[in-house]
Each structure stands twice: as C-alpha cells, then as structure tokens.
Amino acid sequence: MSMAGRMPEPYGQGGGANLADILERVLDKGIVIAGDIRINLLDIELLTIKLRLIVASVDKAKEMGIDWWEDDPALSTRARRDELTRENAELRERLARLEPDRAKLEPDREKKEQEESG
C-alpha cells in the first residue's frame, strides 16, 4: 500500500523487508528497557496485539471496509479526540496550502487515501 511504497528503502541489505517486517521487530522484539521517559509500554503492546489480531481477521475487516487503525480506540485516541483531529487536519490543510513543502509531512492525507481505497 501507499504507506509501504512511499519511501525508498533506507538500507541496502534487508532489501526485501517491508513495513510489517520492520514494525514487528522494532516494536515487539528487541530488549525492553524502562527509560526516563515512561511511554506507556502497555499501549505499544496493545498496538502490537492489534497488528496481530488484524492479521487473523484482515479479510473480514476488508470485507467490511474497516480502516482498522482509524477507528480503534485501543490503537488511537483519535476516536475519542475526533473533533480535535478534524480541526487539526483543517489547519494542516491550510498550512499545506501556504507551505507546499510541508504537504508531504501531513499524515492525514495518507489516511484519506487509505479510506478511499479501502
């Protein structure tokens, strides 16, 4: 999908690696150390679990046209912050019009594409 294809591979050896390969390793594998910044590891685990659950039911989800990371409260507080997000998106759009270079940094555009294609 567009997310995976958007960027050139940043490294040469793991040429066949896709986004899922990278995420499953950097999020779910490797050594866990509690840093000074207490990110809620539980949330990362939720996210990883979510990625896993989706694996089992992705066909069903697709059938139902679910944009899975968008409307999942476990993955995204966006569901709860809907209004703020919409306002944010509006501001981003305005900003993008003013500053064309920033347009590619705008995450919401991608998601809209996702919604349209899914």
Partner 1 sequence: MTGLRYVYAVCHPLGAPLQAQLTGVAGAPAKLLNHHGLIAVVSHVPEGDFAEEALHAHLEDLDWLTDTARAHQGVIDALTVVTTPLPLRLGTVFRDDSGVRVMMEEREADFRRTLDRLAGRVEWGVKVYAEAEPEKAAARPAAKAASGRDYLMQRRQQARATDDLWQKAEEFASRLHDTLSAFAEDARLHAPQNPALSGASGRNVLNAAYLVPREGSEEFVELVDRTKDDVPGLRVELTGPWAAYSFAGDTGAGA
Q: Could you give the CA distance from residue 62 to residue 104 in angstroms, rounded to a whole number? A: 27
Closest to partner 1 by CB, 35 vs 100, is 35
Closest by alpha carbon to 77, among 32, 114, 49, 46?
46
Closest by alpha carbon to 21, among 34, 10, 36, 32?
10
Closest to partner 1 by CB, 28 vs 93, is 28
**Which residues of the shown chain bind partner 1 in the complex (CB under 8 A)?**
1, 3-5, 7, 10-11, 13-33, 35-40, 43-44, 47, 51-52, 54-55, 58, 68-69, 75-78, 107, 110
* Least separation in angstroms between CB 42 and partner 1: 11
Nearest 10 degrees: Cα torsion 57, 60, 47, 73: -140
Closest to partner 1 by CB, 76 vs 96, is 76
Q: Could you give the CA distance from residue 41 to residue 46 in angstroms, rounded to a whole number? A: 8
* Least separation in angstroms between CB 16 and partner 1: 5
* Least separation in angstroms between CB 70 and partner 1: 9
